Amino acid sequence: MSTAGLKVAFSASFASDQTVRVGPGNVETIKFPNVFINEGNAYNPGTGVFNAPCKGAFQFNFTTLGWGDYNTGAQLMKNCQYQVSIWEPKGQGRTSSSQSVILSLESGDRVYLTTWGADDRVSDNENRYVTFSGVLLFQL
C-alpha cells in the first residue's frame, strides 16, 4: 500500500453530552469516544488508541480537567512507554491542563493516554474540556 500523500488527523473528546469520569482506581487507558475528525481512521474510539499508519513525525495534544477531592492528570504512552504527562493536585477547585508533543513514530506504533496514577480522576462534561488530538506532520 502506498502512503504517498497520506492524510492522518484525529481529534476526540472524553465526554459528549453528560458528565463522565475515569478513576480513581487502577491506571487505565482513557477512551475518547466523541470523535470530531478521524481522517485516515488511525484512531480507535473504542479503545482510545492511535495506531500510526506510516513512519512519520506526529504531533499530539491533550487536555484534562479536574475538580473536587481528587488529583487529575494523564500520561501519553507510546507502545507502553511513558512519553509526557500533565498533573494537577486536588483541592485546587477546577483545574485544566494541556500538553503537546511531537513524536517520531514507526508504522504500527500505538499512542494513547492513561490516567496519571491510581489515586487520580479525569472528569468531563458536555463542555468537552478533555480532548485528545493527533496529526501527521510529515512522513519520514
* pTM of the entire predicted model: 0.88
Q: Is pLDDT of 16 > 80?
A: no
Query: Rounded CA gap, 17 and 15, in Å?
Result: 6
Q: Is pLDDT of 84 > 90?
A: yes
Which cell is 106 given? 514507526
Residue of 10, 106, 3, 115 lying closest to 59 (CA atoms): 10
Sign of the Cα torsion 85, 96, 105, 116 reads positive
Domains of the chain: 9-139 (2.60.120.40)
> What are the pLDDT digits (tens) for 71-81?
788 899 999 99
Q: Under a CB-based contact definition with an 8 Å cutoff, are residues 98 and 63 in contact?
A: yes
What integer pLDDT is reported at residue 27 of this predicted model? Answer: 73
Torsion of CA 100, 106, 107, 110, to 10 degrees: -50
